[in-house]
Amino acid sequence: MTEFCPRLEERLCRYAAVDTQSDEESPSSPSTAIQLTLARMLAEELTRIGAADVTVTDYGAVLATVPATAEGPVIGMLAHMDTAPAYHAAGVKPRVIRGYNGGEITYPDAPGLVNSPAANPYLGEKVGHDLITASGLTLLGADDKAGVAILMTLAEHLIANPQIPHGKLRIAFTPDEEIGRGVDARLPADLGADFAYTLDGGAVGEIEYESFSADGAKVKVKGVSTHPGTAKGKMVNALHLAAKIIEMLPQATQTPEVVEGREGFWHITNIAGTAAEVEFSIILRDFELEGLAARGALLQQVCAAVAATEPRAEITCTIRPQYRNMRYWLEKDMTPVELARKACRAEGIEPLSVPIRGGTDGSRLTEMGVPCPNIFTGMQDIHGPLEWVSVQDMGQATQVCLRLVQLAAKPV
Least distance from C-beta 38 to Zn ion, angstroms?
14
Least distance from C-beta 332 to Zn ion, angstroms?
25
Number of other residues whose CB lies within 10 A of the CB of residue 189? 11
Looking at the Cβ atoms of 5 and 356, the one nearer to Zn ion is 356
247 annotated active-site: no
Stretch that binds Zn ion, among 106-114, 198-206, 388-396, 400-408 (CB under 5 A): 198-206
Interaction of residue 208 with Zn ion, rule CB under 5 A: no
Looking at the Cβ atoms of 200 and 310, the one nearer to Zn ion is 200
Looking at the Cβ atoms of 201 and 205, the one nearer to Zn ion is 201
Looking at the Cβ atoms of 46 and 199, the one nearer to Zn ion is 199
From 19, 82, 143, 178, the catalytic residue: 82
Query: Cα–Cα distance between 132 and 98 in angstroms, integer?
Result: 9
Say if CB 315 and CB 221 are below 8 A apart: yes
Stretch that binds Zn ion, among 2-10, 85-93, 102-110, 143-151 (CB under 5 A): 143-151
User: What is the 3-class SS of the chain, one letter each residue?
Assistant: CCCCHHHHHHHHHHHHCCCCECCCCCCCCCCCCCHHHHHHHHHHHHHHCCCEEEEECCCCCEEEEECCCCCCCCEEEEEECCECCCCCCCCCCCEEECCCCCCCEECCCCCCCEECCCCCHHHHCCCCCCEEECCCCCCCCHHHHHHHHHHHHHHHHHHHCCCCCCCCEEEEEECCHHHCCCCCCCHHHHHCCCEEEEEEECCCCEEECCECEEEEEEEEEECECCCHHHCCCCCECHHHHHHHHHHHCCHHHHCHHHCCCCCCEEEEEEEEECCCEEEEEEEEEECCHHHHHHHHHHHHHHHHHHHHHCCCCEEEEEEEEEECCCHHHHCCCCHHHHHHHHHHHHCCCCCECCCECCCCHHHHHHHCCCCCCEEECCCECCCCCCCEEEHHHHHHHHHHHHHHHHHHCCCC
Taking CA 182 as the corner, what is the angle to CA 178 and CA 188, rounded to the nearest 5 degrees? 155
When binding is defined by CB under 5 A, the residue of 9, 19, 130, 143 that contacts Zn ion is: 143
Interaction of residue 393 with Zn ion, rule CB under 5 A: no
Stretch that binds Zn ion, among 116-124, 200-208, 212-220, 326-334 (CB under 5 A): 200-208
When binding is defined by CB under 5 A, the residue of 19, 130, 156, 200 that contacts Zn ion is: 200
Say if CB 39 and CB 60 are below 8 A apart: yes
Least distance from C-beta 291 to Zn ion, angstroms?
24
Stretch that binds Zn ion, among 136-144, 156-164, 326-334, 367-375 (CB under 5 A): 136-144
Interaction of residue 286 with Zn ion, rule CB under 5 A: no
Interaction of residue 156 with Zn ion, rule CB under 5 A: no
Least distance from C-beta 311 to Zn ion, angstroms?
45
Least distance from C-beta 394 to Zn ion, angstroms?
14
Least distance from C-beta 143 to Zn ion, angstroms?
4
Least distance from C-beta 377 to Zn ion, angstroms?
9
Interaction of residue 82 with Zn ion, rule CB under 5 A: no
143 annotated active-site: no
Stretch that binds Zn ion, among 36-44, 199-207, 251-259, 262-270 (CB under 5 A): 199-207
Interaction of residue 381 with Zn ion, rule CB under 5 A: no
From 9, 143, 176, 177, the catalytic residue: 177
When binding is defined by CB under 5 A, the residue of 19, 45, 130, 144 that contacts Zn ion is: 144
Q: How many residues bind Zn ion (CB under 5 A)?
A: 3
Looking at the Cβ atoms of 287 and 376, the one nearer to Zn ion is 376
Looking at the Cβ atoms of 19 and 310, the one nearer to Zn ion is 19
Tell me the pairing of strands 207-208 and 374-376: antiparallel
Which stretches of the chain bind Zn ion, using CB under 5 A?
143-144, 200
Catalytic amino acids? 82, 177
